[in-house]
Amino acid sequence: MEGKNPARIADVSRTAVDKLLVDAGKACLDYQDKVFRNLPCRNIQCDEIWSFVYAKDKNSPFAQIDQRFDKFTPPSI
């Protein structure tokens, strides 16, 4: 996520948004490192995330090409 738009919406500096995202990421990393160790799992299923902003390419008019995009996030373990 780019920090400029959330900063504008929340009326705070982009630096504050970036710091908050970094802090949240570190907190998630610490939590997952503590909780997701030595689990008794035999099988793990995971899937990728495919996100669309505005609309899928095939469903949006060519005139709005600058307002849409998609983002693929592969899984990592």
- The model carries a pTM of 0.52
What three-state secondary structure class fits 69? Answer: strand
In the predicted structure, residue 26 carries a pLDDT above the cut 90:
yes
Contact 21, 1 (CB under 8 A): yes
Average pLDDT score over the chain:
79
Task: Examine the domain organization and report whether 73 and 58 are in the same domain.
Answer: yes
Percent pLDDT > 70 in the chain is: 65
Task: Examine the domain organization and report whether 33 and 63 are in the same domain.
Answer: no
Domain that holds residue 11: 1-38
**Poorest-pLDDT segment among 6-10, 19-23, 40-44, 55-59:** 55-59
Task: Examine the domain organization and report whether 49 and 25 are in the same domain.
Answer: no
Q: What domain count does the chain have?
A: 2
Task: Examine the domain organization and report whether 51 and 30 are in the same domain.
Answer: no
Task: Examine the domain organization and report whether 22 and 45 are in the same domain.
Answer: no
Q: Which two tokens stand for residue 19?
A: 């710091």
More confident residue, 48 or 16: 16
